[in-house]
Structure 1
């Protein structure tokens, strides 16, 4: 697999770590049937103003739950 061989050389350890985090987020989104682009765009736009005490809401699982709850409340 070409992609796997390309990831062997991330340059520096910190870059490899950041890449692993991003790949984990994308795969988690796919597993939860979330569009990774929509999730990442929303989180990146909100992360600087989001309260630190509610940071777990930005994880893919909680993001989906909060979003579904807000849709349900809007429909009522």
Structure 2
């Protein structure tokens, strides 16, 4: 399942780490009726330009 998620991200031209960090933060507050917004293709169109980030993503 994880491999499928990673491959789908790559096929859509999405960084898998960026996608997962964003979606895992959104999933709890996103309306269930709009869950398709969190699929890779829809996410790229709606959220990829301004993804949520993690405090762990720091460059030193």
Uncovered stretches (5+) of structure 1, i.e. residues with no partner:
1-19, 72-76
Residues paired across the two proteins, number: 50
The 5-angstrom pairing of residues 7-46 of structure 1 reads 20=1, 22-46=2-26
RMSD over aligned Cα atoms: 1.6
- After TM superposition, give the deviation of residue 27 of structure 1 in Å: 0.5
Moved over 6 A (4+): none
Gaps spanning 5+ residues in structure 2: where? 51-60
Q: Which has the higher contact order (CA 8 A, sep 6+)?
A: 2
State the distance in 1 between where 2:18 and 2:7 align.
14
Q: Which has the higher helix share?
A: 1
Matches within 5 A, 1:44-55: 44-55=24-35
